[in-house]
Structure 1
């Protein structure tokens, strides 16, 4: 398979994949984005061609990335299909975690093959995306005769990969959202609780980062559930009751989220073996009562 790559959609992900593939020896034949400034960013980085339409990009390349927003993928596919811009033998790829490769199905009508290549990684900005994509773990699904193309890319990026059922993509993506997006929310909860005590936000973030990093290292080293520490893991119900008593003045939203997380944390502690079923039930009943109390008060 040729290493000629075209890109439709030059946002953070599209630009980053263009840069890292170019650095690994792929020829980026051209790029198109509705926003000219996005196109310019990629062109300036790797000196590739810019095209006025997605059709021109598609006709210029053997491997076509559609890296628009998830909501725009279908309309791009429809536009390319309606103008017969897909080519026989072409591999059409998207990098969405939530969408399966089937959203590219119309490309098959013209002899193209389809592939989803999703990096389990977060991209806060372009430079972080360029740094984070190499070495990532990717999920792969689509036409089996395209797997070699995806695997070759992942291996050149020094990453790893696994295959996934297309029908499972929404649930898979939900799991990724929990550990990436919702992690930020959980950390924000901790920051807010500490801010209430009078600790400045800047100092709170600085103080919590070593704790966060230590927890991640524990997960890397001993895995889950063994990485779980803290009062629930120890079966310390009195500390949890003190937390909840002090939190009654903080507002229903914080109490509700804390209690919901605590409820499920007790299940992890049971899996770890540091509390028994009776203790888990006690924790869960405590958190359930607090959530019910919050609901009644709202």
Structure 2
């Protein structure tokens, strides 16, 4: 399939690598700045336009808009202004939170629009491209664009999952909690270790094996069976000791601990392997 990428930043670079490695023809790419365009070319080997030049090849079948969410409509508008005679092309944005309608507002009705988003993070372009081949992709939009993006994803060995447009923000909440919020939680755990004498780097290094085995447990056993720890064991005295320690030296962590503890109680109750009386005692501690 002939593919053009507008917005060759983190997501766009990964997509370009993915297209190249999967045998698709890249008809071009575009980045707003010269620095960004040169960096994209260095990373992907794909010549990248920038600035006022945005010429989309007439044989483009799938045009990806991979800018940040707030720039999707303006980027699409720029393409339509500079390429008014572009043949019928499917337009797809890569936002997790926005529906395909954000493109519909900027793209003439002759062109079909869709949204396609992989449930993954994008930091290292090559790693992200590799992950995209096994990630869960969620799609919604108009029939022609959906057909083309589905064909594209099937070529990667990915079966896209339909996502109603009005539920995209909630879907994105799931991604934020599993990724961004998980890093914030990891940061909180690291800060607790710095209070017992570790440097931040040492704290991160010390926590990584625990984090990895936790992910492995979820992958192997699922929820709620992967749950471990004092609440899962019904260890009231340990939870009480945690709260006392935080009151003394880390009061800023208490509200987070209580909130997550209540969620952990729900999982422990669902697992049905802990004395309900113990769980009730822990619940009372977390509410006090």
In structure 2, do the counterparts of structure 1 residues 55 and 39 end up closer, same or farther at CA, with 3 Å as the change threshold? closer
Q: Contact (CA 8 Å) 1:7, 1:31: kept in 2 or not?
A: yes
Q: Contact (CA 8 Å) 2:64, 2:92: kept in 1 or not?
A: yes
Alignment of 1:271-282 (within 5 A): 271-275=270-274, 278-282=277-281
**Residue 250 of structure 2 is aligned to residue 236 of structure 1:** no
C-alpha root-mean-square deviation of aligned residues, in Å?
A: 2.3
In structure 2, do the counterparts of structure 1 residues 282 and 86 end up closer, same or farther at CA, with 3 Å as the change threshold? farther
Q: Contact (CA 8 Å) 1:77, 1:106: kept in 2 or not?
A: no
| 1:97-122 alpha-carbon deviations (Å, 9 max, x no partner) | 01111111136634111111101111
Of 215-224 and 131-140, more deviation after overlay is shown by 131-140
| 1:40-61 alpha-carbon deviations (Å, 9 max, x no partner) | 2333433446365475227562
Match of 1:149 in 2: 148
**Residue 68 of structure 2 is aligned to residue 42 of structure 1:** no
Alignment of 1:11-160 (within 5 A): 11-44=9-42, 45-48=44-47, 50=49, 53=52, 55-57=54-56, 61-81=60-80, 85=84, 87-106=86-105, 109-160=108-159
In structure 2, do the counterparts of structure 1 residues 281 and 145 end up closer, same or farther at CA, with 3 Å as the change threshold? farther
In structure 2, do the counterparts of structure 1 residues 72 and 58 end up closer, same or farther at CA, with 3 Å as the change threshold? farther
Mapped to 2, the partners of 1:154 and 1:259 lie a distance apart of: 42
Question: For 1:57, what is the secondary structure of its paired residue?
Answer: coil
Mapped to 1, the partners of 2:171 and 2:15 lie a distance apart of: 22
Displacement of 1:243? 0.7
In structure 2, do the counterparts of structure 1 residues 54 and 238 end up closer, same or farther at CA, with 3 Å as the change threshold? farther
In structure 2, do the counterparts of structure 1 residues 75 and 119 end up closer, same or farther at CA, with 3 Å as the change threshold? same
Mapped to 2, the partners of 1:63 and 1:109 lie a distance apart of: 15
In structure 2, do the counterparts of structure 1 residues 284 and 59 end up closer, same or farther at CA, with 3 Å as the change threshold? farther
> So what's the TM-score if we normalise by structure 2?
0.90
Mapped to 1, the partners of 2:153 and 2:266 lie a distance apart of: 36
Mapped to 2, the partners of 1:127 and 1:247 lie a distance apart of: 41
Match of 2:260 in 1: 261
Q: Contact (CA 8 Å) 1:91, 1:113: kept in 2 or not?
A: yes
Of 147-156 and 96-105, more deviation after overlay is shown by 147-156
Match of 1:180 in 2: 179
Displacement of 1:85? 3.2
Of 256-265 and 200-209, more deviation after overlay is shown by 200-209
Gaps of 5+ in 1: 290-298
Displacement of 1:186? 1.3
In structure 2, do the counterparts of structure 1 residues 85 and 252 end up closer, same or farther at CA, with 3 Å as the change threshold? farther
Q: Greater share of helix residues, 1 or 2?
A: 1
> So what's the TM-score if we normalise by structure 1?
0.87
Q: Contact (CA 8 Å) 1:95, 1:116: kept in 2 or not?
A: yes
Match of 1:296 in 2: none
Displacement of 1:244? 0.6
